[in-house]
């Protein structure tokens, strides 16, 4: 019989490509992990890793097993969370992923909403970068999240669009925001982009790359900074221009770059804000609450999107 333990060790070994590192990650000695993998292989009757000098390499069977193993662990995790959250809306912790612009202008209000209804709970908004959030979702450590996503859906995830947010060009130079910005003009601009936006697999990045690609040019020289706030400040100082969601403009421009203006791109482009969770997940009451509240908040600020 497969055990959770074996699958945990298997996944760690798969991801680390090494039994030793897997053991470190799990806090065990190396032979223990080795033994778990061996019994797992034996009980399945297949070889999962090839031992070859440095480290281990997964076989194709291991590739096949991996998503199933992840799913088992995720469902175990869901089970635990479900039980805890039965009384947990009184006392537990609610975790919710929220990355990108969504976090920026709905985070605080969302926490307030939850606390108003359930004064006893602890709220945790996870979301330094979207790779983390997606990884936590995939691993089942996070039930659901609201993130800005590209149109394409990730494997095994259910993506429910709730709102869209226009991407606009901001600049301290009035001339450059006098008329909609085309791809050609964009390719010549000197932009500052928050690193999170560039690295993230979200609409902003994809849209901009596509626009640049159409001009037949390489990506322009650009400044990368850590967060949107800094980017907006730099724009306010006239050091560069940027492309940000409309919500950010309303939220930050008056405060951080009062002299800057904004204008649409041509054609208009949008970030899609969506709720994302594992396709096979049963959502806990807490997660459903967060989704409901977050959707409500976002749709107050951005243009709602009705799912088909």
Partner DNA sequence: GCCTGACATAGGATCGACCTATGCTTTCTG
Partner DNA sequence: CAGAAAGCATAGGTCGATCCTATGTCAGGC
Please, are residues 101 and 247 in contact by the beta-carbon 8 Å criterion? yes
**Is 1 near its own copies (CB under 8 A)?**
yes
* 59 lies in the site for DNA, by CB under 7 A: no
Q: Quick check: 30 binds DNA (CB under 7 A)?
A: yes
79 binds its own copies (CB under 8 A): yes
Tokens, residue 33: 């992990």
Per-position x/- string for 37-56, each x denoting binding to DNA as judged by CB under 7 A, each - no binding: xxx-----------xxxxxx
Q: Which does 183 bind (CB under 5 to 8 A by kind): DNA, its own copies, none?
A: none
Interaction of residue 138 with its own copies, rule CB under 8 A: yes
Strands 222-225 and 191-194, by their bridges, are: parallel
288 binds, among DNA, its own copies, none (CB under 5 to 8 A by kind): none
Q: Which residues of 89-109 are buried (b: 16+ CB within 10 A; e: fewer)?
A: beebebbbbbbbbbbbbbbeb
Residue (36 or 130) nearer to DNA, CB: 36
**Least distance (Å) from its own copies to the CB of residue 125?**
13
- Residue 83 interacts with DNA (CB under 7 A): yes or no: no
List the one residue out of 28, 26, 34, 37 whose CA is nearest residue 3: 37
Shortest distance in whole angstroms from residue 297 CB to DNA: 31
- Binding residue for DNA, selected from 63, 280, 300, 303, defined by CB under 7 A: 280
Is there binding between residue 60 and its own copies (CB under 8 A)?
A: yes
Please choose which of its own copies, DNA, none residue 114 contacts, taking the beta carbon within 5 to 8 angstroms, the exact cut-off set by kind: none
Interface with its own copies includes 126 (CB under 8 A)? no
What is the CA 204 to chain-centroid distance, rounded?
A: 13
Cβ(125)–Cβ(110) under 8 Å?
Answer: yes
Residues 29, 47, 239, 279: which binds its own copies (CB under 8 A)?
A: 47
- What is the smallest separation between the CB atom of 69 and DNA, expressed in angstroms? 15
In which region does residue 27 sit, left (phi positive, over 0), alpha (psi from -120 to 50) or beta (all else)? left
Residue 154 interacting partner from DNA, its own copies, none (CB closer than 5 to 8 Å by kind) = none
Q: 166 — phi, psi (to 5°)? A: -70, 140
Please say which residue, 155 or 175, places its beta carbon nearer to DNA. Answer: 155
CA-CA distance, 53 to 257, in Å (whole number)?
Answer: 57
Which residues are at the interface with its own copies (CB under 8 A)? 1-5, 7, 44-47, 50-53, 57, 59-61, 63-65, 67-69, 71-72, 75-76, 78-80, 82-84, 86-87, 91-95, 138-141, 143, 278, 280-282, 284, 286
């Amino acid at each position: 019989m497969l055990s959770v333990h074996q699958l945990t060790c298997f996944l760690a070994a798969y991801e680390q490509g090494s039994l030793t590192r897997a053991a470190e990650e799990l806090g065990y000695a190396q032979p223990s992990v080795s033994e778990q993998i061996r019994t797992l292989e034996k009980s399945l009757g297949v070889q999962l890793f090839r031992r070859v000098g440095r480290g281990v390499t997964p076989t194709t069977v291991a590739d096949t097993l991996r998503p199933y193993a992840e799913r088992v662990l995720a469902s175990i995790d869901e089970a635990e969370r479900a039980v805890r959250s039965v009384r947990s809306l009184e006392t537990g912790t609610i975790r919710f992923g929220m990355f990108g612009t969504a976090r920026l202008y709905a985070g605080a209000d969302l926490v307030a909403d939850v606390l108003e209804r359930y004064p006893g709970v602890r709220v945790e908004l996870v979301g330094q970068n979207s790779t983390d959030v997606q990884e936590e979702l995939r691993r089942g450590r996070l039930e659901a999240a609201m993130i800005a996503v590209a149109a394409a859906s990730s494997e095994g995830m259910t993506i429910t669009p709730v709102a869209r947010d226009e991407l606009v060009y901001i600049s301290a130079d009035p001339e450059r925001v006098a008329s909609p910005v085309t791809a050609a003009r964009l390719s010549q601009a000197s932009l500052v982009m928050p690193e999170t936006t560039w690295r993230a697999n979200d609409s902003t990045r994809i849209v901009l790359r596509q626009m640049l690609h159409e001009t037949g040019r390489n990506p322009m020289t650009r400044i990368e900074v850590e967060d949107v706030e800094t980017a907006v400040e730099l724009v306010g100082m006239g050091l560069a221009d940027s492309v940000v969601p409309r919500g950010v403009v309303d939220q930050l421009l008056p405060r951080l770059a009062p002299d800057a203006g904004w204008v649409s791109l041509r054609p208009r482009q949008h970030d899609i804000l969506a709720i994302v969770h594992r396709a096979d997940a049963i959502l806990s009451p807490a997660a459903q609450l967060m989704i409901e509240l977050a959707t409500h908040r976002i749709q107050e600020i951005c243009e709602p999107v009705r799912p088909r």
